[in-house]
């Protein structure tokens, strides 16, 4: 075999290896971009957790907002050691542009201030932030009801349309997906509906 043919063979091998590497990169990027299964929650949740662990912020408790925030807050708190988890539900109408409110918020925050103190450090967690209405509404209420709390905000998925402050992030999305992994069941309700739209869940 001539040197020319050997060179062509080597180039073909190198090209094939490069193609395999590039295909693997594409597959890994595709897998990382998927958020339709609970395996995605763990994968992106680990990235979020690494940011929290690398930060000097040591929360006195983790506060989950809403149903998605509740299970994510529990997972984060469990991985931070002996950190308490607290939950505040949210309620709004079907349109995400409608105002958000939190049932019994004043009573709950009064209790949390009694338990954790006036100057508590709080990691506030939501599963996904589309426009940021939940965090913005909570922060406004927090400034009125617990002005001395030191809060940091964490979210698993942030859509580019979000305008709320985010301190820790699992993954940023260009657009809102059709559904998140925890929305897959037909009977799932993302939040409490207002009484004029649907009877409150028990």
Tally of structural domains, the chain = 2
- Lowest mean pLDDT across 23-37, 54-68, 134-148: 23-37
Residue 198 lies in a domain: no
Q: Is 26 helix (H, G, I), strand (E, B) or coil?
A: helix
Say what the pLDDT of residue 35 is.
Answer: 60
Instruction: Classify residue 188: in a domain, yes or no.
Output: no
Percent of the chain clearing pLDDT 90 (strictly above): 50
Averaged pLDDT, 12-21: 64
Mean pLDDT of 53-77: 93
Identify whether 7 is part of a domain. Answer: yes
Residue 78 near residue 45, CB atoms below 8 Å: no
pLDDT at 59 over 60: yes
Residue 2 has pLDDT above 90, yes or no: no
Residue 139 CA to residue 163 CA, distance in Å, equals 13
Q: Is residue 201 part of a domain?
A: no
Interacting residues of 74 by C-beta distance below 8 A, sequence separation 6+: 62, 64, 85
Same domain, 66 and 148: yes
Which domain, by its residues, includes 22? 1-33
Average pLDDT over residues 162-177: 92
For residues 171 and 98, state if they share a domain: yes
Asked if the model's pLDDT at residue 134 lies above 60, the reply is yes
33: pLDDT confidence band, cut at 50, 70 and 90?
very low
């Amino acid at each position: 075999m001539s040197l020319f043919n050997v060179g062509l063979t080597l180039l073909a091998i190198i090209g094939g290896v490069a193609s395999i590497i590039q295909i693997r990169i594409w597959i890994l990027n595709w897998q990382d971009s998927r958020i339709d299964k609970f395996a995605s929650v763990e994968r992106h949740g680990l990235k979020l957790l690494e940011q929290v662990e690398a930060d000097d912020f040591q929360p006195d408790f983790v506060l989950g907002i809403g149903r998605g925030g509740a299970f994510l807050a529990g997972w984060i708190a469990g991985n931070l050691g002996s950190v308490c988890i607290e939950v505040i539900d949210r309620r709004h109408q079907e349109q995400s542009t409608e105002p958000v409110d939190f049932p019994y918020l004043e009573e709950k925050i009064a209790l949390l201030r009694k338990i954790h103190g006036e100057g508590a450090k709080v990691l506030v967690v939501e599963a996904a932030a589309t426009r940021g209405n939940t965090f913005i509404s909570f922060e406004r209420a927090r400034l009125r009801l617990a002005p001395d709390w030191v809060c940091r905000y964490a979210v698993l998925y942030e859509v580019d349309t979000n305008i709320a402050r985010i301190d820790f992030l699992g993954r940023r999305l260009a657009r809102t997906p059709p559904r998140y992994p925890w929305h897959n069941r037909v009977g799932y309700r993302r939040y409490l509906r207002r009484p004029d739209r649907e009877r409150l869940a028990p």
